Chains A and B, each alone.
Chain A
């Protein structure tokens, strides 16, 4: 930012004086530790000043909300017109039980829905598969057919409330269930709003819900983008996710870089494979970040993300529509920052992380429950987590003014530093031939492994602190109510699936699956065929088995 020469000169003189003082005082009272770093091990200086931001250009680097480069947010009115969406990720046991939890959350003031599926659903297996044994309903809701899905959304006004679904390999199928359910309820596809996560690149890198190899996985994603562009214009067909990359142990810069480079890979694939113009689909791309415990680093990361994306869209892809330049994102507080020890402390961690997300300008937020590190969240714990957001929105004043930390020497300097470090990674991946190639080489996986191992060693040596884990431990932990899913959930779910298979027209299902197979083989868009198949009660696994048969199965290479 511009400072008059005299200001810089006197600042430099004052700085020298201060540095002398620091040396004198520190000689008597040494610093508590030699190096002060973020949770991601980024070194932070003792003080930031005009020198650190003098190279920033106000017009091209900072600007105003709703204006390029969108550092200060996409929304011109900030949070005054509408707070971020209070969107709690939830799903457990049967569709009926999850539906009950959703209605409870909506009654408690939640403004958007977000679905957690169980592992068999996430991986494209039905509950009766031998591979699914022991997993049903444990980490989310079990969905085998559209009948389960309709039970899940019972009483939810599809045309009014937006629903997000954390689903990746079978995203085409779960989205088809949503579209089919809307059609069957007489709601036109152009009125439904929501998000499917549908980001396979980060699955190979981090979350590991896997099915087919990278190339056909990206093809299926491009199918959804194309279908959404044509028929479901209010739907976010990808939520390009850094959350899981971070949870796997990445640093904040790695989260930023790998996520945005994943986004660029999808843009390039849709342009190449589908022949769409970037501005036909890019406005519907959305993002999903982690809000970790290092307060300022997270705020800087989110601000940097907006600026990088705007620049990439405009300069790299020649996008002309400013809606394509907007980075719209959801945030979730960091599960990996929570501790099983002294679990009530997690309320404090989550509050700090949620505040960082808000000061970073998130448009949607999930706050973790204090017990999520131990089990599925109880109703009471979820309520505290939701109330945390409501307190930040309506009591703290954090939403009063837009991007309140802009212009801070530290925040602007850190934002710039993280942006530059992220671009270094992005260019490195470009040189490897893109993200699919980098993943095949194991590059992002190894970078994250390094960071995760480094962090664990720092925890073990107390170089980094987690309260209750390696400092201020207590002998006995408080008991918290424990939510468990028992085996009857699995038995009942299998019975439901068997019942559907008995009642449905199996000949029709076989035809639908044949159509999907043909579409896969010809490279056609699978979405219309998936919608038809789920309407005819084809199961998640039956369709995924077709994908596995045509595209092959991907096995985790176990890179460490």
Chain B
């Protein structure tokens, strides 16, 4: 076992003006209990703030939560800004009330996974373990 391998670092962020943070906060605790390192931004972050925090904190994954319907604009914007900053090796996943019709455009924009209501905490944790490796 490589003792120097660090824990997976996750930035959990709430983009936009939406304040429904129950899901994000439950996930923050769940990530912590699952052994990930988690940084939670709190509500009302702009995509620029999220990308800058992701780079500063050197995270492996950005998790986005928005329930206002503005995910169609905000999630792709975060992915786009990461790319612009040469940080698109940081994966982006999203959650919330996401209608089926929005799935493909969000995947096309670079989102790696989307989780909708009814998802168990463990299924998100195991997706992360299977798909995200600590960078460097």
Give Cα distance in the complex from A557 to B25, angstroms: 12
Which of chain A's residues 256-274 have a Cβ closer than 8 Å to chain B? none
Flag whether B114 is at the interface (Cβ < 8 A): no
Which residue of the partner chain A has the closest CB to B76? A134
Give Cα distance in the complex from A247 to B25, angstroms: 13
Give Cα distance in the complex from A248 to B120, angstroms: 18
Give Cα distance in the complex from A560 to B13, angstroms: 13
Q: Check A249–B22 contact: CB distance below 8 A.
A: yes
With beta carbons under 8 angstroms apart, the residue of B22, B26, B68 that contacts A119 is: B68
Flag whether B42 is at the interface (Cβ < 8 A): yes
Chain B residues in 8 Å Cβ range of A138: 68-70
Flag whether A375 is at the interface (Cβ < 8 A): yes
Give Cα distance in the complex from A158 to B120, angstroms: 47
Q: Check A456–B26 contact: CB distance below 8 A.
A: yes
How many Å from the CB of A207 to the closest CB on chain B?
A: 5
Which of chain A's residues 402-437 have a Cβ closer than 8 Å to chain B? none
Which residue of the partner chain A has the closest CB to B69? A138
How many Å from the CB of A117 to the closest CB on chain B?
A: 11
Which of A138, A374, A482 has the largest count of B CB atoms less than 10 A from its CB?
A138
Q: Check A555–B121 contact: CB distance below 8 A.
A: no
Chain A residues in 8 Å Cβ range of B99: 374-375, 482, 484
Q: Check A135–B42 contact: CB distance below 8 A.
A: no
Chain B residues in 8 Å Cβ range of A336: 22
Q: Check A555–B29 contact: CB distance below 8 A.
A: no
Chain B residues in 8 Å Cβ range of A247: 22
Q: Check A123–B26 contact: CB distance below 8 A.
A: no
How many Å from the CB of B87 to the closest CB on chain A?
A: 22
Which residue of the partner chain A has the closest CB to B17? A119
Which residue of the partner chain B has the closest CB to A248? B22
Chain B residues in 8 Å Cβ range of A340: 97, 116-118
Stretch at the interface among A125-133, A144-152, A291-299: A125-133
Using A452-B25, A453-B30, A457-B121 as known contacts, say yes or no to A373 and B97 having CB atoms under 8 A apart.
yes
Flag whether B16 is at the interface (Cβ < 8 A): yes
Chain A residues in 8 Å Cβ range of B80: none
Q: Interface size of B by Cβ–Cβ distance < 8 Å?
A: 34
With beta carbons under 8 angstroms apart, the residue of A131, A373, A558 that contacts B42 is: A558
Flag whether B37 is at the interface (Cβ < 8 A): no
Flag whether A449 is at the interface (Cβ < 8 A): yes
Which residue of the partner chain A has the closest CB to B21? A208
Q: Check B40–A208 contact: CB distance below 8 A.
A: no
Which of B19, B43, B68, B121 has the largest count of A CB atoms less than 10 A from its CB?
B19
Q: Check A132–B17 contact: CB distance below 8 A.
A: yes
Give Cα distance in the complex from A556 to B117, angstroms: 24
Chain A residues in 8 Å Cβ range of B41: 558
Using A340-B117, A452-B25, A453-B29 as known contacts, say yes or no to A207 and B19 having CB atoms under 8 A apart.
yes
How many Å from the CB of B119 to the closest CB on chain A?
A: 10
Which of chain B's residues 24-83 have a Cβ closer than 8 Å to chain A? 24-26, 28-30, 40-44, 46, 68-70, 72-74
Which residue of the partner chain A has the closest CB to B122? A460
Which residue of the partner chain A has the closest CB to B38? A560
Q: Check B118–A341 contact: CB distance below 8 A.
A: yes
How many Å from the CB of B67 to the closest CB on chain A?
A: 9
Flag whether A88 is at the interface (Cβ < 8 A): no
Q: Check B19–A209 contact: CB distance below 8 A.
A: yes
Q: Check B26–A452 contact: CB distance below 8 A.
A: yes
Give Cα distance in the complex from A248 to B43, angstroms: 13
Using A135-B68, A375-B99 as known contacts, say yes or no to A555 and B17 having CB atoms under 8 A apart.
no
Q: Check A119–B122 contact: CB distance below 8 A.
A: no
How many Å from the CB of B17 to the closest CB on chain A?
A: 4
Chain A residues in 8 Å Cβ range of B70: 119, 133-135, 138
Which residue of the partner chain B has the closest CB to A450? B29
Give Cα distance in the complex from A485 to B70, angstroms: 10
Using A119-B68, A134-B74 as known contacts, say yes or no to A560 and B25 having CB atoms under 8 A apart.
yes
Give Cα distance in the complex from A61 to B18, angstroms: 42
Flag whether A393 is at the interface (Cβ < 8 A): no
Chain B residues in 8 Å Cβ range of A210: 19, 43-44
Using A131-B46, A340-B117, A460-B121 as known contacts, say yes or no to A123 and B17 having CB atoms under 8 A apart.
yes
Give Cα distance in the complex from A478 to B117, angstroms: 16
How many Å from the CB of B68 to the closest CB on chain A?
A: 5
Chain B residues in 8 Å Cβ range of A112: none
How many Å from the CB of A382 to the closest CB on chain B?
A: 18
Flag whether A377 is at the interface (Cβ < 8 A): no
A482-B99, A556-B42 are known; give 15 further A-B pairs, CB within 8 A.
A130-B46, A134-B16, A134-B74, A135-B17, A138-B70, A208-B20, A210-B19, A247-B22, A248-B22, A341-B117, A456-B30, A457-B121, A482-B101, A484-B99, A556-B44
A-contacting residues of B (Cβ < 8 Å)? 16-22, 24-26, 28-30, 40-44, 46, 68-70, 72-74, 97, 99, 101, 116-118, 120-122
B-contacting residues of A (Cβ < 8 Å)? 119-120, 122-123, 125, 130-135, 138-139, 203, 207-210, 247-249, 336, 339-341, 373-375, 449, 452-453, 456-457, 459-460, 469, 482, 484-485, 555-560
> What are 22 pairs between A and B in contact, CB < 8 Å?
A119-B18, A119-B68, A119-B70, A131-B17, A134-B16, A208-B19, A249-B26, A336-B22, A340-B116, A340-B118, A341-B117, A373-B97, A373-B117, A452-B26, A456-B26, A460-B122, A469-B117, A555-B42, A556-B42, A557-B42, A558-B40, A559-B42
